[in-house]
Chains A and B, each alone.
Chain A
């Protein structure tokens, strides 16, 4: 699965995650376990996948490492 396709179909959250957000958005955003999110910040996706916190929502394919 390409990175673009994965982003379009979203990522399933396996463990709760937090990421920085603007101060007027509360400083930090959070996604809970079980959610499928399409708004995760692209620059952090590889790190979350590495630690098993998220996975592509459609697991029919896995994003190539160089695409993530």
Chain B
């Protein structure tokens, strides 16, 4: 008998820098899709008494659906209760219970004559969405007021979502979104709930927190974050100021090559803060950010300010295997990634499916009462090889 238990499944995937493939099985708890499809076009003609399928069409490795538990640090899972979400100048996590963030990228078919397997050799437009659900609250600056205002506004809202909270160095999903629907559910026998669906306006970035949502009372240099390597494909930053006493505070981003000598990041100075507010900054498409980053308050006129700052590098190629950053690093990557899939493990002689793929979607679910989880879809690019480990 050759039956196989799924617990022995092995999945290997390239890192964002193209090295690998690395064993990232510990990140997943489901994998399905391979070995794909063979198209069987109808060849029925006059005279036939039944449908005919006499030709082997294109083969397709198709989508590989992977599901797992999010790990921002390899080996460390995150409970959904740790989720923190900022919406403009409002801390929304006090109302929310569920969040689902989805990144997508179109991967057009690039199959040509002489190909026997479908190919997806180009990266198309990025897209994304966010679904939030929570407890209805009609107080000022609470969920109902904030979401109704966003539903009526043309300008997008800034969302920063941190699975493990906003402690300095934690990963933060960052994007600007527009609200397309808002609903309230009032059951006769339970708590009134509310939900809203957002669509992204521009790309969703993965950044790091440079300041937790805590108060400062004077000028300060925030703790630095070592991001492994410099990048030179731009950046985006979010500032959320949820409380301020007094007026006048200048918050800046700085970078450093050695964690010792610092310079203000070009274009990285937020507007002088005089009230609760939010602001998004973006660097030029080729802007360099050196390895270390931090946030500082260079001028402090207010007596107290409570804020959170994050910065996201674009074009990063670092990230440990089997982490959330590893997967995000594959998003919009121009080169395909090599995968290897072993339904029966990876010991010598066991079946192996391998090929090239691209990440077509990545959805993260933040439930208040369960571990933060994700599903990823990889689309294959070209032939699937069948051999053994």
Contacts and interface: CB of A to CB of B under 8 A. Distances in A.
* B and A form one assembly: yes
Interface of A: 15-20, 28, 30, 32-33, 44, 47-48, 51-53
Contacts of B221: 18, 28
Interface string B102-132: 0000000000000000000000000000000
Interface string B246-285: 0000001011011011111110000000000000000000
B303 interface: no
Interface residues of B, number: 17
B298 A15 contact: no
B309 to A, nearest CB: 16
Nearest to A32: B298
A40 to B, nearest CB: 10
Contacts of A30: 298
A51 B292 CA distance: 14
A16 B263 contact: yes
A16 B258 CA distance: 17
B298 A51 contact: no
Contacts of B257: 47
Interface in B281-300: 288, 290, 296, 298
Nearest to A30: B298
Interface of B: 221, 252, 254-255, 257-258, 260-266, 288, 290, 296, 298
A51 B232 CA distance: 12
Nearest to A16: B264
Contacts of A15: 263-266
Given A28-B221, A32-B298, A18 B288 contact: no
A16 B298 contact: yes
Given A28-B221, A32-B298, A19 B262 contact: yes
B263 A53 contact: yes
Given A15-B264, A30-B298, A51-B288, 19 more contacts: A15-B263, A15-B265, A16-B264, A17-B261, A17-B263, A18-B221, A18-B261, A18-B262, A18-B296, A19-B261, A19-B262, A28-B221, A33-B264, A44-B261, A47-B261, A48-B261, A48-B263, A51-B255, A53-B264
20 contacts: A15-B265, A16-B252, A16-B254, A16-B263, A16-B298, A17-B262, A17-B263, A17-B264, A18-B262, A20-B261, A28-B221, A32-B298, A33-B264, A47-B257, A47-B258, A47-B261, A48-B263, A51-B263, A51-B288, A53-B263
Most buried by A among B255, B257, B260, B261: B261
Give the 10 A-B residue pairs with the shortest CB-CB distance, closest first.
Answer: A53-B263, A15-B264, A18-B262, A16-B264, A44-B261, A17-B263, A19-B261, A51-B263, A15-B263, A20-B260
Contacts of A33: 264
A32 B263 CA distance: 10
A28 B263 CA distance: 13
B300 to A, nearest CB: 13
Contacts of B254: 16, 18
Contacts of A20: 260-261
Contacts of B252: 16
A16 B383 CA distance: 53
A4 to B, nearest CB: 21
A15 B46 CA distance: 78
A28 B252 CA distance: 16
A30 to B, nearest CB: 7
A15 B258 CA distance: 18
A39 to B, nearest CB: 15
A67 to B, nearest CB: 19
Nearest to B262: A18
Nearest to A20: B260
Contacts of A53: 263-264
Contacts of A28: 221
Nearest to B298: A16
